[in-house]
Amino acid sequence: MKALIKKELYSALHSPVFYAVAIFFLLFVSIWLFYLQKYFALDSATLRPFFSAFPLAFILAGPALTMKSWAEERKLGSVELLLTLPCSEWGLVLAKFLSAFILLAGIIALTIFVPLTLFPLGSFDIGVMCGEYAGVLLLGASVISLGALFSSMAKNQAGAFLGGAVALVVVILINQTTTSFNLPVFVADALNFFSLSFHFETFSKGIIDSRDVAFFVLSTLLFLFLNTRVILYRKWS
């Protein structure tokens, strides 16, 4: 696993895709905060408008970081070599997941300079910001595990990216239908339950809710489990 993680990180850091994703991510959250949300006009020492951009940015950033994970191995034929390594399917899936998650965490860490530039302008709560970043990391873990799952099912990187992006649009924005349409309460509750952005809302307020933590952890484990099933099927097919 350690060797595979090193290989994945080395490959990503020598690829222009990673740097393009990092630049896109930083520009998107900055433009969202200062121009679309008109932050300075809010006249409030809160970072909720800043963190509300992260679920939307993940829709493209997540699949871009994971599209190469399994699809490229399958295209090059090296997936057969991986499956012969003295490592279980869980070990291979975790190595791919952790390498992509480390890259995403690095990009998220770079965004901290945006709120730091605002600190001299008001009295911000550090504890609230830590809770918001904790939610971002948990959300990112679910996004990465879902993107890796679609990469394992796709034949090429383009298919992995499109499939992951479409799936993320659904699971992130599905809760918007509850505000746009007059749905029955049980239907609205069901849609909200499966929405990643709905469970992120409490974190964006700086509140760490154990139910939302459990949702992100369990959804990540579910996507990783399904990834191992796909890999196992590829191994014996």
Tell me phi and psi for residue 46, to 5 degrees.
-135, 150
Q: Which residue has tokens 């964006």? A: 204
**What are the pLDDT digits (tens) for 17-41?**
999 999 999 999 999 988 888 877 7
Residue 204: both structure tokens together: 């964006």
**What are the pLDDT digits (tens) for 179-206?**
777 778 888 888 888 889 989 988 888 8
* Predicted pLDDT of residue 237: 60
Give percent of the chain above pLDDT 90. 47
Give percent of the chain above pLDDT 70. 98
Tell me phi and psi for residue 137, to 5 degrees.
-65, -40
* pLDDT at residue 176 is higher than 90: no
Provide the number of structural domains found in the chain: 1
Report the candidate in 53, 47, 56, 48 with the shortest Cα–Cα distance to residue 32: 53
Residue 235's pLDDT band (cuts 50, 70, 90):
low
Residue 10: both structure tokens together: 């080395």
Domain assignment of residue 196, given as a range: 2-236
* Predicted pLDDT of residue 43: 72
* pLDDT at residue 161 is higher than 70: yes
Residue 115: both structure tokens together: 């709120």
Which residues contact residue 178 at a Cβ distance below 8 angstroms, ignoring those fewer than 6 apart? 188, 191, 192
Cβ-contact 133, 38 below 8 angstroms: no
Average pLDDT, the chain: 88
Q: Which residue has tokens 């990834």? A: 227
3-class DSSP state for residue 71?
helix
Report the candidate in 187, 229, 220 with the shortest Cα–Cα distance to residue 100: 220
* pLDDT at residue 130 is higher than 80: yes
Residue 210's pLDDT band (cuts 50, 70, 90):
very high
Distance CA 48, CA 129 (A): 9
